[in-house]
């Protein structure tokens, strides 16, 4: 299995910094400092 692992400190950093790589090869993005997602209302 081959691909690219992109480790991102914030939600948008992977696409801003490595968007071309992420879109051109099979990629997995891991965001490490975003915290839990907010709860939905309703």
The reported pTM is: 0.64
Whether 40 maps to a domain, the answer reads no
**How far apart are alpha carbons 42 and 23 in whole angstroms?**
34
Whether 42 maps to a domain, the answer reads no
**Residue labelled with tokens 């801003």:** 16
Which of 37 and 28 is assigned the larger pLDDT?
Answer: 28
Give the mean model confidence (pLDDT) for residues 21-29. 88
- pLDDT at residue 31 above 80? yes
Mean model confidence pLDDT for the chain: 83
**Residue 25: domain span:** 1-35
Whether 17 maps to a domain, the answer reads yes
Whether 14 maps to a domain, the answer reads yes
- pLDDT at residue 1 above 70? no
**How far apart are alpha carbons 11 and 32 in whole angstroms?**
9
pLDDT at 5 (0 to 100):
92
3-state helix, strand, coil in the chain (%, to 5): 30, 25, 50
Q: Distances in Å between the alpha carbon of 29 and those of 2, 36, 41, 42?
A: 14, 16, 27, 29
Whether 6 maps to a domain, the answer reads yes
- Where residue 42 falls among pLDDT bands split at 50, 70, 90? low
Total count of domains within the chain: 1
């Amino acid at each position: 299995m081959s691909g690219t692992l992109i480790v991102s400190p914030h939600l948008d950093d992977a696409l801003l910094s490595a968007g071309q790589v992420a879109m051109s090869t099979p990629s997995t993005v891991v965001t490490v400092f975003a915290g839990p997602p907010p709860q939905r209302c309703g």
